[in-house]
Structure 1
Amino acid sequence: VVYFRYTDDTLRELAKKLKERTAELKEKAIDPYATSPEVTPPVNASGSCVFLSPDRRYIAWLTVVAVAYNYNVWFCPARLAFPYHNDTANRFWIFFDVLSDVVNVVDIIIWQPRLQFVKAGDIIVSDKVHYRKSQRFKIDMASILPFDLLCLQFGFSSIYRLNRFLRIESFFEFSDRLESIMAKAYIWRVARTTGYLLYMLHLNACAYYVASVHQGLATTTWVYDGEGTAYIRCYYYAVRSLINIGGLPEPVTTFEITFQMANFFIGVFVFSSLIGQMRDVIGAATAGQTYFRASMDGCVEYMNTYTIPKLCQNRVRMWYNYTWAAQGMLDESELLDKMPLVMRTAIAVDINLATFQKIALFQGCDQQMLVDMLLRLKSIIYLPGDFVVKKGDIGKEMYIIKSGAVQVVGGPDNSIVFVTLKAGCVFGEISLLQSAKDGGNRRTANVKAHGFANLFVLEKKDLFDILVHYPESQKVLARKGRKLTKAKGPAGAKPEEKPKGMALFGQKPPTPKLLKAFGNFRKGGVMDKLKVKPLH
């Protein structure tokens, strides 16, 4: 009995698996693009995708790390070159040295292992081994080796801290992340390039003092004479030497001549490269302004060539100046076209989707269709007094007010304001669905800009191109368009005038034409017509 029961259970399990396998094969036959479950790799927790966003707290911490790094790279050469080590100053040096080392150790132990990184397209958030196996970890560990302990044997000196210079990658990381969050990154680029220049002068000042000590202070006219503040005097020499200002004392010995020639070479190559980098940074910062000026000057030259009236030229200049001041560019589409579709969609949805959903004409339509419509919007800026639409024009666009206000005007000289539409309002949407038959898509009112108005425009052609892919939404819009058109009435039809009088008995029937003909004859006219003239 046990044998047969086991056989029965085995057959049932086998039949169940065969049935499941058959169902999977049927689904794959129906959908040939379906992915087989055996091929799909499992998703683990460490490889799951999350949103990678720069943490402001980490950038603040990188600021502290960058300050600690700059402390070492600026003060270590100065302490090596100048006589800044004594019993009083050493206490402060030891305190700040230990403080900077604590910052580096905390960064290596706590912050760096917690950083996210990208692997095969996934953002890994919980793998500390990655940092420990990286080349940066080895460099960081070498940078905090405590060579300072050698001071106990050989005396206090900052030469044992030169390995702190190896953490230069932390400074570059701070610089890159700071640029990524700044609205005007060129300010930091200019400051950073200026810092590079000052640091080169700092190193040259330290080298000049060491050379002066090697030759002997005040032994020749070229070396430092030992008067005043040593660092300031040497820094002044470095500025005049590297920038090649001239007026320097002539070197006397071979060592002094060699040192001065090396300074000139450094000034020509290194210093000039820094100046060129500064020019590139400033040029990149003002590239947009340069493009704006070139575009405006070209337009003004064109208008002067064809003798355009001054009033029109002034309005063109006003449009250029306001457009640039308002949005920092002349055409937003140039910037958006460089972005991927996902980014453009996100920006368009964030700006206008809520407004589109409030339009009665588009309520009940496919949400994806609304998103596609948002991507077809064009931004146009109107000056004060510009007519957006005029009564009787062919309606081919609808408008969404992004900023500013427009007025519906009428009366003599358009002096009567019927209504004022502000940001978020929509007008002209019915014209998108009306046909040109009997003037059905003619504008019925004048709309002009009250001040500077920035409008989004959707053209009828773009709407019809979108509706091809959304037949259900096309039916909804057609039905709503007929209702709105019927409620509004045909624009080209004139109201029928009803005859007055005899409202109680109805309208009098028309007189027959035969009776009208006889009625037109005067009295006795019929007999006169029937008389026959006598023959002579």
Structure 2
Amino acid sequence: MTSFYFTDGKNMLCISLSTTLSSSPFVLISTQKTTPQGFQTNEYADAQLQEIVRKMRERATVYKEKLKDPVLSSPEGSPTAYEKKEEKKEEAEAKPEEDHYCDMLCCKFKKTPLKKYMTYLQLPDSIDSYTDRRYVAWLMLVTVAYNWNCWFIPLRFVFPYQTSSNTIYWVAIDIICDICYLCDLLVFQPRVQFLKGGDIISDKVEMKKFYHSSMKFRLDVISVLPFEVLSIFFGFNPAFRANRMLKHNTFFEFNDRLEAILDKAYIYRVIRTTGYLLFILHINACLYYWASDYEGLGSTRWVYDGQGNMYLRCYYWAVRTLITIGGLPEPQTLFEIVFQLLNFFLGVFVFSSLIGQMRDVIGAATAGQNYYRSCMDNTVSYMNTYSIPKVVQNRVRTWYEYTWDSQGMLDESELLEQMPTKMQLAIAIDVNFAIVNKVDLFKGCDTQMIYDMLLRLKSIVYLPGDFVCKKGEIGREMYIIKQGEVQVLGGPDGTKVLVTLRAGAVFGEISLLAAGGGNRRTANVVAHGFANLFILDKKTLNEILVHYPDSEKLLMKKAKVLLKEKGKPAPGPPVQQPRGLAGLFGQKQETPKLFKAMLGGKGKAGLAKLLQLKRERDIQVMPQETEQIILSNREKQKQRKASKQRSSRKVRIK
């Protein structure tokens, strides 16, 4: 307890300061008036002391509320020591990353530590084939080996490209492909997780048993059998490696996993379909050279004559045959006729299937854009039917174009409606939670309530110049700026820009909980450019708050605080506070003129000024009013004299 005493000769002020750990700081103020005989109390000092007591009580009440409900405290409080420790930890973690930069020539690049490389390359005990990117990279390596075998085994079997001088190179690449096959068979596939009764199985024994009992394991085993051993008895022949083409399951699995992680999967689908067409033409070119070699090179006009690049000439023939361009030499022998007929049938079937698949891929890729075009065309047709003004039509077209360019769709809710509620919530949290969490009105509320609110937010795009809300309207929505800017207009003519709100700002939140006229818009809000806003209406919020009564009470408290702050006048320029006792008693009120005249001099001089002011005030009375007063007084005197005379006459008569 600490006490301070101040005196001005007549009054003594005692201020006692007390702080405790269990309660807020409070101030005890007491005034002890020493009123000696012959002196009067100073009313001005007494009023100032009462004002100080009132302010101190208000301050103590505010501190008590903050201790009871810390959520209502200012968010700009001083950071705690724990936050400082976290900042130091982050700085300490950031320093090692800066050390891993290497300078080479004139460039500076980041070098990842070797430990991180080894940790990342370490093979896990179980592999999630849907999310593990390392597994997708491994499948790509196996797919490259599979495509090598599919393209070059027929080529080496038919065309005389493999000779004794380059056999070592072909064999070296074959060995590398076989190593990839073996690693996939022995290391990766037994670690892949699988589903059983809706549960993800990650046990080593169970995963091995599941893989060994599958058809994929049997095909993988057959694809790595070393039939090249037969070359000891029959000579080297690439046909002994034909079993390598049975590992097609890995190829299709890689396609599925790659399409799942690509942003624009339709591009890969087009490339893959084109690869199918080129591979079929490649097989047909190999068959044509084999048929020509069987008949004899240059024996007839239909077969390959052996001139030029053999592969390109045969591939050109395969393209013209499968696409049925025509203009080819007529087959002469029965073998040539049968071969050509099979080629025509195969070409019509395969080529038409590939063209149809290509059309489906491109159609699926442009389905959203076609829907956007159809919606826009139908809207324009509707506006033309009812003769909508061109200005409105242009704004509608602008809205369609901007919405499609910025979002890639017209309505995001249509896409999310197909997903389960939990997935919708997960996406909404990642996209919108950071924005909603900045709203002071919802700080301290139940997290589950905020999650429910995220699912109810609606996204709306406003064009430049659109009024988001107008002054005097009844506010039923709260707005959160997702992208763009809005301007708050005011002033006498309503065109002065008071403030510009940018992404992450919130306005209209008081209207959600205000009552008794507090839900009226106080200013015009206009979109400065293209603005994407989230909207939450009052009805939706009330439906959510039914299940969260504690959050409802907290929101009501905050709404009252915001309404009080809203009613306060705008803060002016800072005023320099006086020091000493002048700051304690506050600013003294202006003394009336009468007291100034009385206190302006000393003794008779002050009294003379007072009498002079009184005379001047009497002189200001109008002459007519003075005459009326004098006449009325004379008439009263005459009436009194007449009444006295009458009374005296009556006495004489008696």
TM-score category by the smaller chain? 0.7 to 0.9
Contact 1:50 1:123 in 2 (8 A): no
The separation in 1 between residues aligned to 2:495 and 2:128, in whole angstroms, is 55
Equivalent pairs counted in the alignment come to 446
Aligned residues of 1:52 and 1:123 also touching (Cα < 8 A) = no
Give, in whole Å, the separation in 1 of the partners of 2:142 and 2:492: 71
Kept after mapping to 1: 8 A contact 2:127/2:192: no
Aligned counterpart, 2:144 = 67
Instruction: Read off the aligned partner of 1:468 and give its amino acid letter.
Output: V
The 2-side partners of 1:71 and 1:251 are apart by 33
Match of 2:319 among 239, 259, 262: 239
**Could you list the per-position Cα deviations for residues 1-46 of structure 1 after superposition, in whole angstroms to 9, with x for gaps in the alignment?**
xxxxxxxxxxxxxxxxxxxxxxxxxxxxxxxxxxxxxxxxxxxxxx
Which structure's relative contact order is higher, taking Cα pairs within 8 Å and 6+ residues apart? 1
Q: Which residue of 2 aligns with 1:394?
A: 474
Partner of 2:525, secondary structure, is: strand
With over 3 angstroms needed to count, the CA separation of the structure-2 counterparts of 1:385 and 1:503, relative to structure 1, is farther
Structure-2 change in CA distance of 1:373 and 1:503 (3 Å): farther
Matched, 1:85 2:162: yes
- Separation of aligned partners in 1, 2:426 and 2:542: 23
Q: What does residue 187 of structure 1 align with?
A: 267
Cα pair 2:438 2:504 within 8 Å, conserved: no
Partner residue in 2 for 1:248? 328
1:64-463 equivalent positions in 2, closer than 5 A:
64-127=141-204, 128-411=208-491, 414-435=494-515, 437=516, 439-463=517-541
Distance 1:52 1:218, change over 3 A: closer
Task: Let me know the Cα RMSD of the aligned residues.
Answer: 2.3
Offset from partner CA, 1:449-498 (integer Å, 9 cap, x none): 111111100011111111111122222222332333344359xxxxxxxx
- Please give the alpha-carbon distance, in whole angstroms, between the structure 2 residues aligned to 1:79 and 1:487: 85
Report the CA distance between 1:503 and its aligned residue.
13
Paired amino acid for 1:475: K
The answer for unaligned runs of 5 or more in structure 1 is: 1-48, 491-501, 505-536
Instruction: Pick closer, same or farther for the CA change 1:430–1:503 going to 2, 3 Å.
Output: farther
Pairs within 5 Å for 1:33-48: none
Does 1:471 pair with 2:549?
A: yes
Kept in 2, the 8 Å contact 1:372–1:466? The answer is yes
* Offset at residue 56 of structure 1 (A): 1.5
CA contact (8 A) 2:129 2:136 kept: no
* Alpha-carbon shift at residue 295 of structure 1 (Å): 0.9
Comparing 162-171 and 125-134, the one that deviates more: 125-134
Query: How far apart, in 1, do the equivalents of 2:418 and 2:500 lie?
Result: 36
Q: Secondary structure at the match of 1:399?
A: strand
Offset at 1:440?
3.1
| SS across alignment from 2:536 | strand
CA contact (8 A) 2:127 2:191 kept: no
Instruction: Quote how far apart the aligned CAs of 1:360 are.
Output: 2.3
**CA shift in 2, pair 1:200/1:255, >3 Å:** same
| 1:413–1:261 Cα change, 3 Å | farther
Deviation at 1:109, TM superposition (A): 1.3
| Deviation by residue 1:179-218 (Cα, 9 ceiling, x = unmatched) | 0110000011001100110011111111111111111111
In structure 2, distance between residues paired with 1:356 and 1:293: 34
Q: How far did residue 386 of structure 1 move? A: 1.2
Assess, with a 3 A threshold, how the Cα gap between structure 1 residues 302 and 170 changes in structure 2: closer, same or farther: same
Alignment CA distance shift 1:503-1:53 (3 Å): farther
Partners of 2:490 and 2:562 in 1: how far apart? 23
Residue in structure 2 matched with residue 32 of structure 1 by the alignment: none
AA at the equivalent of 2:185:
I
Q: 1:249-286: per-residue Cα shift (whole Å, max 9, x none)? A: 11111111111111110111111001100000011011
